[in-house]
Structure 1
Amino acid sequence: MPDKDARIRDHLRRAGIDDASAQAAIEIDVALQKWRRRVMKRELGQRALADLGLSIDLAQLDVLLAVRAPEGEFDDAGPCGEDAETMVSTVAARLRIDPSRASRIASELIRMGLIRRAVSQQDARRTVLELTPAGGEIVSAVRAYKFLVLGSFLKDWSAEEIALFLPLLDRFSAWSDRAGQHSPEVAERISDLRAALASLPMDGAD
């Protein structure tokens, strides 16, 4: 069977990346692509809403979670501690969505009685968002559902496997941060790829 990735392996080899690392990169990408497609479909979130009998959609659930801001979940989008206040702009930043979309979904949840507007304790001119008791119960139930599923999966792992996996996962999660930080060898190979693509006939040209 022909190796469909032979050219890719050659590019990696010429950039000084050994065959074992190249193979690992290819196999990891296969796993990540499968995971990405499942995550994009939000399978776990959809099942949680269905199994818990909730009549909200995933976008509304995301906003509820952004208002609740579980510890560590949105740590790159501003303070999320117990004393932190959440505005529509905060929700938009945490979810990386347009503020107008965040405002529209928040208004829907206010009408549903899951979020309420309140006056900021830090600046009386500012309006903040808070979960109502019902909204808080929904967030707690969905998070409990997620961790029941994940905990059930992990209970079959040994303590050694978990101790090995967690730091490696944390280390691996930063790999895409290096996308713009290329070694000279990798930069040269990327330049070659760009040049080859630039010479391709486009728009039906001969």
Structure 2
Amino acid sequence: MSGHMDYEINKELGECYLFMGELDKAEEYYKKAVGSNGIHPDPYLGLATVAVQRGDLNDALAMYEKAHKIEPTDKSLSGIALIRMENGEKENAFSMFIEAIKMNPENMVALFSLIRLGHELERVADIIPPLRDYLEIDPGKHEVRYSLAGCYVCLEQKAEAREHLEKILEMDPDFDAAKEMLETLQP
């Protein structure tokens, strides 16, 4: 029993120090958490975050992969994908973000990374389904709807773009970016 309690406390302390930006302390407690009970992915995800904040992407990748071996989650997938994206492995990152979204449609890191990669890789059509799925869960997330409208504009599907922009402005008349995009679509 005590092993699990130690694990929980160390993990909590790790998260607390990470939140306060004290990376050395965070690392120390995450490592203790790994030592007290090495079958959870969370401390490795924590150590990965510490490494990312230090700019040590190789170490971060190793930690994400350890977490992923213990238990594949959308967090470990999108973590690995982020680093691959930074390293220029864009196609590979794209498919990992899609996998992460399948596990958790509300993973915003994966969603916004997909939007960015979709435009860079000219795979805009492939990012429409995940954006639409997200909006079914959270229809009021205007940034996502605005991105979806942008995708439709890229694909010359102006009626669909207009429909989504009008929906945003119904809910939020002050969303200026949506107003501007709508004006460019006027015949």
TM-score relative to the length of structure 2: 0.27
| Structure 1 or 2: more strand by fraction | 1
TM-score relative to the length of structure 1: 0.25
Higher-Rg structure is 1
Higher relative contact order (Cα pairs below 8 Å, separated by 6+ residues): 1
